[in-house]
Structure 1
Amino acid sequence: MNNQIRCPYCNKSFEPTDAYKHELEEKLIRDTQGKHQEEIEKLKREKQELSEAKEKEIEVVKKQVAEKAKIEARESVTKELKDREDQIAQLKKRAEEAEEEELKVRKEKRELEESKRKFELEKQRQLDEEREKIRVDAKKEAEDGMLLTLAQEKKRNEDAQKQILELQRKLQQGSQQAQGEVLELDLEERLKTAFIYDEVSPIGKGIEGGDIIQKVRNQAGKVAGTILWETKRAKWSPSWLPKLREDGRKFDATLVVLVSVNLPKETDNFQVTDNVIVTSYKYALPLAGILRRDVMKIASAKFATENKDEKLEFLYQYLQSEAFRSRFEAFAEGVVEMQSDLLTEKRVMERSWKRRETQIIRTINNVSKMYGELQGIMGSALPDIKILQLESGENE
C-alpha cells in the first residue's frame, strides 16, 4: 500500500514519520522565530532612530507586533499542524486498512491451512481405516484358512501339556523307572510330531517287548513297514540286544532300534550291532527319518517283486482273450482300409498324371510344328528357341 506524501513545493514524495513531524514543527517554529527576531531587530533599529519621546509608542507598537506575531505564528503553526494531523490521520487510516487487509489475508491463510490439515487428517484416517480393514480381512482369511491347523495345534499343545505335567510328576518321583518313561514319552511325542502319516503308539505296561511301535505309512495310508523302538537310561548291557531282536520278531518289525543314553565304548553316535540299530538319543530323530525312507523303499521293491508274476499272468490272459483279438482285428482292419484308400488315391493320381502327360506332349508337339512352320516362312530371321531344338542342333 502507497503511504507517501507529495510535497506541494518540490513535488517530491516521501514517507511521513513521527521524527519528520517533530522536525517540521521545530523548523516551522525556528522560521517563525527568525522572522520575529528580524522584526525585533528592525524595531530596535527604529527605536534607536526615533526619539526618546516616542519610546513609549514604540514599546506599545513592539508589544502589538509581538502579540500579532505570536497570533500569526500560532495560527500558522495550528494550520500546519492540522494539515499534518489530517495527513497523519489519513496515513493511519490507510495503515489500519492495510492491517485489516493483512489480518484478513492471514485469516484466510490460516483457514486454508486448517482446511488442508483437516483434509490430510481425514485422508490419513481413511487410509488407516482401509489398512485396518485390509489387515482385519487378511487376518480373518488367515484365521479361517488355518482354523483346522490351529485346532490341531491346540489339541497337540493340550496333549503335550498333559504329557509335560505327567513327565513333571514322574520326574518328581526321582526313580529310574520314571526317568525311563520320560525318555520314552518324549521320543514318542517327537516321532508323532515329525511323521504325521505314521501310526506311533506305545506298548502297554505289562506287555513284554519294546517301548514304541512305529507303523510307517505313505500318504495314501498304506503300511510300508514297522519300526520297533526301545529306550534305555541304565548302564549299557549287551544282554539287551538278543531280547530286543526277539521282540522284533514277535511284532514282525522291519527294523529294531535301541535308543540308549549310555552307548557301548565302540559306538560314538550310532551303529548296527547284531542286527540291532543302536543310537544315542541326540541322533534318534534324524536316524528315524533315514530308516523310514529305507522302509518305504524296501516296501516299494517288495510290492514290485510280488506283483511281477501276477502282472505277467494278467498280460498272458489278456493276449488270449477275445477282447485283445477284437481290438487287434479292429486295428488291423483300420490299417488295411488305410492301405486300400492309399492305393485307390494312387491309381486316381496315376490316371490324372497320365492324362496331364498326354496333354503336355500334345501341346509341345503343336508348338514345335508351329515353330517349324514359322521357321520355314521366316528362315534365319526367326530367333532360335533352344528348348525346341534337338541335341544335334536340328529342329524337331
Structure 2
Amino acid sequence: MSTQITCPNCHTRFNLEDVLTEDVEKSLKQQYEQKLKTSVENLQREKKLLEKQQKDFEEKKQHENELFSQRIEKEKQKLQQELQEQIRKSVSSDYENRMKLMKQTLDDNEEKLKLAREKEMEVLQLQQRLKEQRNEMDLQLQKKLLEKTKEIEEKALKHAQDEQELKLKEKEMQIDQMKKLIEEMKRKSEQGSMQMQGEAQELVLEDILRTSFPYDIISEIGKGVRGADVVQEIRNNLGQACGTIIYESKRTHSFSEGWIEKLKTDMRSIHADIAIIVTQAMPKDMEHFGQKNGIWICKFQDAVSLAQVLRESLIKIHQAMKSQENRGDKMQMVYQFVTSNEFRHQVEAIMDGFTQLKNSINKERLQMEKIWKEREKQIDKVLLNTTHMYGSFKGLAGADIGDVKLLEGGEEE
C-alpha cells in the first residue's frame, strides 16, 4: 500500500510515514523540552533552596563555632585560673617551706660562723704568741750569731793578717833574690859572643842552684876539662850524700842530638845518677821538658823545678837503699822504677805542678813589682814636692831656716 500523499494546498507529495514521524518527533520534542524546562526550574529552585540551606547552615555553624569558641575560651580561662591558683598555692607552700629551711640553714651557719670566728681568734692569738716567741728566739739567735761571727771574723782577720805578713815577707825575700838573679842574668846575658852568653847562663845556673839547694854542693867543671858544666852533689838534711846530678848548659839556636851521647859519656865518667841538658832550643820532637834516651832535657826556666823533683827522688831512693842494704833485688827494683816510664810520668806531673806554681809566683812578682814601682814614683813625687817647698821657704827666709841635709843633697848624720 502506498504511503505517498499530496498536499492539497501546494500539491507537494511526501511520505506519510515521514510526516507522522516528524509529528511524533515534534510532539516528543515539545514534551521533552517542557519536562526539561520543568526539571531545570525544579533544579534551580532546589539549588536556591540548597544555597539558602547552606547559607543558613554556615551561619548556624559560624554561630555555633563562635559559641563553642566562647565556651572553649571560658573553659580555658577557668582552667588557667584554677591552674594559677594551684600553682600559687603550691609555690606559696614551697616558698614557705624553703624560707623555713633557709632560715634554719642561716641560723645553723651563723652558729657555725660564730664558732669558727671564736676558733679563728684563738688561732690568731696562738699564732701571735708563737710569732712573738719566734721573734724573741730569732733575736737571741742573731745576737749569738753576731757575737760568734764577730769572734770568728776577728780570729780569721788576725790569722789572715799574720799569714799575709809572713807571705809578704817570704815574697819580698824571694823577689829580692830573684831581682839579684835577674840583674845578674841581665848583666851576663849582655855579653857579645855566644860562648860568653853560654858561660853567663852557666854562672846563673850555678847561682840559682846554690840559692835553691843550700845543703847541696854545687861545683863548676873547669874550662878544657872533659865533662859537664855543673855538678850537683845531693845532700840530705843530715849532710849524707844521696846522689849526683850533672848539668850541661846550652844556649844556641838549634838542638844537637850529639849532646845527649856526649853527656851520657860524661855521666858514666863522673858516676852521676842523673844528667840534665839545660837548653834554649828544645829538640824538634819535644815542646816541653822530658826524658830522651836516658837524659833529661828542659829549658832554663824549668831547670830549678825539675832539679827539685829529681833531687827529692834521689833522696828517697837513698833512704830506700839505706833501709834495704845487702838486698840486691830491692836495689834493682828501685833502679828499674827510676828508669821506667811510670817514674818519668810522675816526675812530669810533679813538674807541671811546679811550673804552674812558678808561673803563679812570677805573676805575683810582676804585680808586686808594678805596685812597688807605683809607690816609688809616689815617693819620688812627694820628695820632689817637698824639695821644691823647702827651696821656696829657703829662698824667702834665708838662713833663718835650718838646713836639712837630705834635702840639701847630703847624708843625715
TM-score normalised by L of structure 2: 0.34
TM-score normalised by L of structure 1: 0.36
Larger Rg: 2
